[in-house]
């Protein structure tokens, strides 16, 4: 029995050594330069027969000059992952006719930016509800090979036409698998059964068993009418091992809903091996002590 315990301890130490040696660091590289636009979204309430006037900034973060053009497209999403769609939808109102630009584009030198005036005019008689479009800035470059490459960036426009509209939606699902590999993942589903979009506030906290916060997630995803949106929660480069408590809350339409508390055990494959080996060694030790006591009696 002593030999068995000694062997188990050696296996535990070897597993820990291999796990530590296998842990590596990850280096992230941020893209630099190029075309950007600001803001990334515009969310306004406009009465029928009224207009909104604002600006978007087109920015050249690179060193080379480029020419760009401005235009608008419809905007919609598909699936719970909200994959964007920029083509007209059958039966939906195309609001690109509501949008005019103070400038259709120009040549922008490296390190400079243009301010492009935007006017959104809602026709009289437009029904209450939500309407969407995307404002694009697009470059067109012709390389030495003659191949034309394009790059575009967009600002999503969310317009709520005022009037009587149905506000309804909430949390449809909250999934936190109890056993996970690194890194931590959870999934929140929000639904909108009304006629206008809403912006939610999602807060999720991952804490140790003593209540110390280890990771905090906060986002403000928009949910479009008659859609379900999946909001993934991920603790990138988070804990590789441990037992944690997951809590959270969601605010929508001014209401706050507390998410059910969940517990999760996180362990990478290496740490799972360590856990199993430790448990085997512990059980072996308990059996050995029990037998020794019986032998003394």
Would the pLDDT of 148 be above 70?
no
Give Cβ neighbours of residue 47 (< 8 Å, ≥ 6 apart): 122, 161, 162
Mind listing the pLDDT tens digit for each residue in 162-181?
999 999 999 999 999 999 98
| Higher-scoring residue by pLDDT: 10, 274 | 274
| Domain range 167-284, CATH architecture | Sandwich (2.60)
Hunting for tokens 């030999």 — which residue is that? 3
Q: How many whole angstroms from its chain centre is CA 73? A: 24
In tens, the pLDDT along 54-68 reads: 999 999 999 989 999
The pLDDT value recorded for residue 32 is 31
Give residue 127's pLDDT: 95
Domain spans in the chain, listed from the N-terminal domain onward: 35-161, 167-284
Q: Given this model, what pLDDT does residue 7 score?
A: 41
* DSSP assignment string, 226-275: TEEEEEEEEETT--SEEEEEEEEEEEETTEEEEEEEEEEEEE-HHHHHHH
Q: Please give the mean pLDDT across all residues of the chain.
A: 84
Contacts of 273 (CB under 8 A, 6+ apart): 15, 19
Which of 2.102.10.10, 2.60.40.10, 3.40.50.280, 3.20.10.10 is the CATH number of 35-161?
Answer: 2.60.40.10
Tens digits of per-residue pLDDT, 19-55? 333 333 232 222 334 899 999 999 999 999 999 999 9
Asked if the domains at 35-161 and 167-284 fall in one CATH topology, the answer is yes
Q: What is the pLDDT of residues 246-272, one digit of tens each?
A: 999 999 999 999 999 999 999 876 555
Q: pTM of this prediction? A: 0.76
Write down the pLDDT at residue 146: 58
């Amino acid at each position: 029995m002593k030999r068995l315990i000694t062997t188990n301890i050696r296996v535990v130490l070897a597993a820990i050594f291999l796990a530590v040696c296998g842990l590596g660091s990850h280096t992230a590289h941020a893209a630099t330069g190029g075309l950007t636009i600001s803001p990334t979204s515009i969310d306004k309430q406009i009465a029928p027969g009224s207009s909104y006037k604002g600006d978007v900034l087109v920015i050249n973060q690179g060193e080379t000059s480029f020419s760009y053009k401005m235009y608008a497209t419809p905007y919609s999403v598909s699936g719970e992952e909200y994959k964007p769609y920029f083509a007209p939808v059958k039966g939906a109102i195309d609001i690109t006719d509501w949008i005019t630009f103070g400038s259709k584009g120009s040549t922008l030198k490296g390190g400079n930016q243009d301010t492009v005036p935007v006017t959104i005019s809602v026709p009289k008689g437009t029904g209450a509800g939500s309407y969407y479009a995307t404002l694009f800035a697009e470059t067109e470059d012709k390389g030495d090979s003659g191949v034309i490459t394009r790059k575009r960036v967009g600002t999503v426009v969310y317009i709520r036409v005022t009037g009587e509209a149905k506000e309804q939606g909430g949390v449809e699902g909250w999934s936190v698998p109890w056993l996970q590999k690194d890194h931590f993942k959870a999934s929140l589903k929000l639904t909108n059964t009304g006629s206008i979009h809403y912006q939610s506030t999602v807060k999720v906290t991952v804490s140790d068993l003593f209540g110390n916060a280890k990771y905090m997630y906060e986002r403000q995803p928009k949910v479009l009418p008659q859609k379900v949106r999946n909001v993934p929660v991920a603790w990138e480069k988070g804990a590789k091992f441990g037992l944690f408590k997951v809590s959270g809350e969601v605010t929508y339409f001014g209401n706050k809903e507390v998410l059910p508390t969940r517990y999760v055990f996180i362990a990478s494959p290496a740490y799972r091996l360590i856990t199993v080996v430790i448990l085997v060694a512990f059980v072996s030790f308990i059996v050995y002590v029990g037998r020794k006591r019986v032998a003394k009696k």
